[in-house]
Amino acid sequence: MWFNLAMKFPFQKIAIIGKHKTPEVAAPLLRLAKFLSSKKLSVVVDSLTAEHLKDSPYPSMSLAEIGGTVDLAIVLGGDGTMLNIARTLSQHGIPLIGVNQGRLGFLTDLTLENMLETVEAMLDGKFIEEQRLLLAAKVMRGDVEVYHGWAFNEVVVHRNYTSNMIECEVLVDGEYVYNQRADGLIVTTPTGSTAYAMSAGGPILHPSLEVFALVPICPHTLSNRPLVIKSSSVIEILTHRTSDIHIRFDSHTDYDLQEHDKIVITRHPSPVCLLHPVGHSYYHTLREKLLWNQTL
């Protein structure tokens, strides 16, 4: 757990960010903006979100401008929206509150129904602060870095759907771990352990853990298992005898790899700061979202 020195409280300037290209976000967003304004707080709206607002009285800013300006960002959307915003704003130390308009909502734990009363309590300091790991990855082609990116959930090296299995060599802190022949390999944070990695048979990792997991996708072996390592590790993935292979960051951005490219994955120095309402429980979220409460 980190202490977030960058967080400014009480919050004075708040950004509201909605799910991109979703017109139905307009009504709850404007309701929230009006509520915040009534509290004498300064409100700005993400410029892409503002395109769906008619006659909005609130100024708009790009995400880059928001990063250096506001004290808090409230995100209306699903986990996919939060992933994108978290990667962008984490370097500025801006805390995030998520309002769920998606399906699962592991990261967005407020509902539209309780949004205003919960936000009001959180503005009064009644919240739980949580710091979460972020991944950084770069693609080396020889001695040249040809691409880099960040991921909140996972970095995935995978084959195209029409190509053969990929073959890669994996090292951790310079030590050889294994050669992998599979459909792909997921390097996941604890946050991402309930996403793609879980579908591939990986372990669920509590978000307070400072670890990563390596989860193979359909490995061509009977003995391969997910591997959990410390978050300070340097992971190297070397691609061998393969073509039509990609690296993907949180399902948002991807890059075409070439044979013999090396992917170097480390912990990003800036964590993501999430704010939850008092009483938030990760185990409750698991029970609710994974339907563990249902009996046969």
Q: State the Cα torsion 273-278-279-282 to the nearest 10°.
A: -10
Residue 52 · residue 26 · CB < 8 Å: yes
Q: Return the amino acid letter for 146.
A: V
Closest to 99 in 3D by CA, of 91, 88, 110, 114 = 110
Closest to 104 in 3D by CA, of 198, 183, 35, 176 = 198
Closest to 170 in 3D by CA, of 215, 125, 232, 126 = 215
Which residues, other chains included, contact 104 with Cβ-Cβ below 8 Å and sequence gap of 6+? 78, 79, 289
Q: Is 79 a catalytic residue?
A: yes
Buried b (16+ CB within 10 A) or exposed e, 40-69: ebbbbbbbebbebbeebebebbebeebbee
Q: Which helix (DSSP H) or strand (DSSP E) does residue 145 occupy?
A: strand 144-151
Burial class (CB in 10 A: 0-12, 13-18, 19+), 252: middle
Q: CA–CA separation, 32 vs 120, rounded Å? A: 10
Q: Across the beta sheet with 272-277, what order do the strands follow? A: 60-61, 42-46, 13-18, 72-77, 96-100, 272-277, 127-132
Q: What are residue 133's phi and psi, to 5 degrees?
A: -70, 150
Encoded tokens for 90: 């984490």
Q: CA–CA separation, 157 vs 168, rounded Å? A: 9
Catalytic residue among 46, 71, 79, 250: 79
- Kindly list the catalytic residues: 79
